[in-house]
Amino acid sequence: MPLSRTTPPAAERDGDGDGDGARPSTRGAGGTGLRGFRPSLLPVLALLTVLTRLPSFARPLWNPDEGYLATQARQLAAGGTLYETVVDRKPPLLPWLYRAAFALFGDRSLWPLKVAAVLAVLAGAVLLASLARRRWGERAGWYAGVCYVLASVALVPEDTQAATFEVFMLPWTVLAMWCADRGRWAAAGAAVAGAVLTKQTGGAVLLPVLWLLWSTRAGWWPLARVAAAAVLPVAAVALLYGPARFAFWMATGSGSYISADGSLAYALGRAAANSGLFAAGCLPMVLALGYAVRSGRGLPRTADVWVWLAASAAAVTVGLQFFGHYFLQLTPAVALLAAVALRRLTARRAVAVLTAQAVLAAGFLTWALLLFPRAELAHQQRLSAEIRSRTSPSQRVLLWGMHPETYWLAGRAPASRYLTAGFLTNFSGGRGTARVGERYAMPGAWPGLRRELRAHAPELIVDDARGKPYGLPRTPTLRAYVARHYERVATLDGTVLYARKGRPADG
């Protein structure tokens, strides 16, 4: 059986005095790990990461995913059970992280999660820099780390500044490649499991890991170690919650959600818009990469990186939703390829490319801090204040909309495990108006909602549809329930509030 590679591969040297094909020194160079990693790079990456994440602290939250996770964490703290009384189509790692942060620091602010997001981006940058340095030399390490951080803000601010799934998934994917590059196959498999348990599409990194294993002729025993380390943690979590229930919320219950019937043109338009924005946001790196490819000088030892990029692109495509934050999964491979391309340039030209990339990043940060609209957040803050004025902290509320952050902002418990109308109508921002209605709900969702409403009727029902196709006029079951038991008491910015009949309208 062929032996796995345990010595560092030959690294191509860059234009600072090293010749192509020379073997890097493992003494003081971090050849087999992070030992010897240039200490000067770490503070640079740390400072750059803090600067690019500063806008995340300028708002209480950036998008509904943060609000969903915050509301989930409060439900878990109150004794809820994930995938039973607290549900989502996502793995458990990030809800656990939110729950732990709330237990340590309180649940009124997301600042601990924002700090954790800074550390997650920094960890990915350091690991990617270490991987590049081991293969292609010192300059490539610098380029990879800096490009990764700068590319991490090259999308709409609400997609890049939120402390949500992709931000915490990416360090696991980079760690998987970092370990595989060093022949640490069990650790690589465990990192793949960490990525999957943060977001399902993180499992795409298994393909480049397996490519590396195959290309090094490592043999069957390392393959078994990768497979076992990747599968066993996921299987353990599935057993913890029940295999059927876990599979339902991870995959099998989302058939309508991932179907593009009737909305393919809309989905492709979103794909073009967000991929175009990401390409424009990374334009200097893209141009440098294109120049390196066209020049005929090649990008040595990057086959696995191209596989990584292709697998990540496929992961972005799964479900045909094409939300902007999905494209963050491309950043590690893009940054690594850009680093290899930049080391083909003179140092002066490479610095010029990085400077141009930094200017673009500064533009995205300015957009986030000064120009990105606050209207939706302001509406939800006003709505949460109205809910607080009409209910007591012990009373439950049903928000009929797509902004679960209002539960968290208002400090009120949800009356249903379904925190958005999407579970019950299949509405999604990535789909538009196609296939929206009760008949497209997740299996069992409406019977489950009816049981919840019988068990603990909400004090207030808030129709926050504001003209969307899932509003009460187009949802007959909920409309009939509201007509029987509730009366309209207020309207706020197009949102209609209903209080229980025969009960006081405020707390």
User: What pLDDT score was predicted for residue 254?
Assistant: 84
Sign of the C-alpha dihedral computed for residues 419, 428, 148 and 302 taken in this order:
positive
The encoded tokens of residue 120 equal: 């997650």
pLDDT tens per residue across span 398-409: 999 999 999 999
The 8-class DSSP code of residue 456 comes to S
Q: Is the pLDDT at 27 greater than 60, yes or no?
A: no
Q: How far apart are CA 105 and CA 187, in angstroms?
A: 31
CA distances from 182 to 23, 179, 299, 302, 491 (A): 15, 5, 20, 15, 61
Segment 113-126 shows an average pLDDT of: 98
pLDDT digits (tens, 9 = 90+) for 190-201: 999 999 999 999
Q: What is the pLDDT of residue 434?
A: 82
**Predicted pLDDT at 343:** 94
pLDDT value at 267 more than 70: yes
Can you give the pLDDT at residue 6?
39
**Cβ neighbours of 359 (radius 10 Å):** 11
pLDDT at 232 over 70: yes
Whether pLDDT at 20 is above 80: no
Phi-psi group of 17: left, alpha or beta (phi > 0 → left; psi -120 to 50 → alpha; rest → beta): left
* Res. 506 pLDDT band, cuts 50 70 90: very low
d(CA 426, CA 438): 8
> What's the pTM?
0.92
pLDDT digits (tens, 9 = 90+) for 140-182: 999 999 999 999 999 999 999 999 999 999 999 999 999 999 9
Residue 362 in this model has a pLDDT that exceeds 60: yes
Tokens of 219: 């043999």
Of 250-254, 271-275, 305-309, 461-465, minimum mean pLDDT range: 250-254
Locate tokens 């500064």: which residue?
362
Say which residues have a Cβ less than 8 Å from residue 43's Cβ, sequence separation at least 6: none
Res. 86: pLDDT tops 80: yes
The predicted pLDDT at position 24 comes to: 40
Q: What is the pLDDT of residues 291-339, one digit of tens each?
A: 998 887 678 999 999 999 999 999 999 988 999 999 999 999 999 999 9
Confidence of residue 264 (pLDDT cuts 50, 70, 90): confident
Contact 365, 54 (CB under 8 A): yes
Q: Give yes or no for residue 43 having a pLDDT over 60.
A: yes
Surface-to-core class of residue 328, CB atoms within 10 Å of its CB (0-12 exposed, 13-18 middle, 19+ buried): buried
Instruction: Decide: 258 and 435 in contact? Cβ < 8 Å.
Output: no
Neighbouring C-beta atoms of residue 502, cutoff 10 Å: 7
Looking at the chain, the whole-number percentage of residues with pLDDT higher than 70 is: 91
Residue 71, token pair as written in the block: 């509301």
Q: Does residue 5 register a pLDDT over 50?
A: no
Q: What is the pLDDT of residue 319?
A: 86
d(CA 381, CA 407): 10
Q: Check pLDDT > 80 for residue 29.
A: no
Over 80: is that where the pLDDT of 28 sits?
Answer: no
Q: Assign 431 a pLDDT band (cuts: 50, 70, 90).
A: confident
- Take residue 453 and report the two structure tokens written for it: 């409403």
| pLDDT at 503 (0 to 100) | 64
- Asked if the model's pLDDT at residue 451 lies above 80, the reply is yes
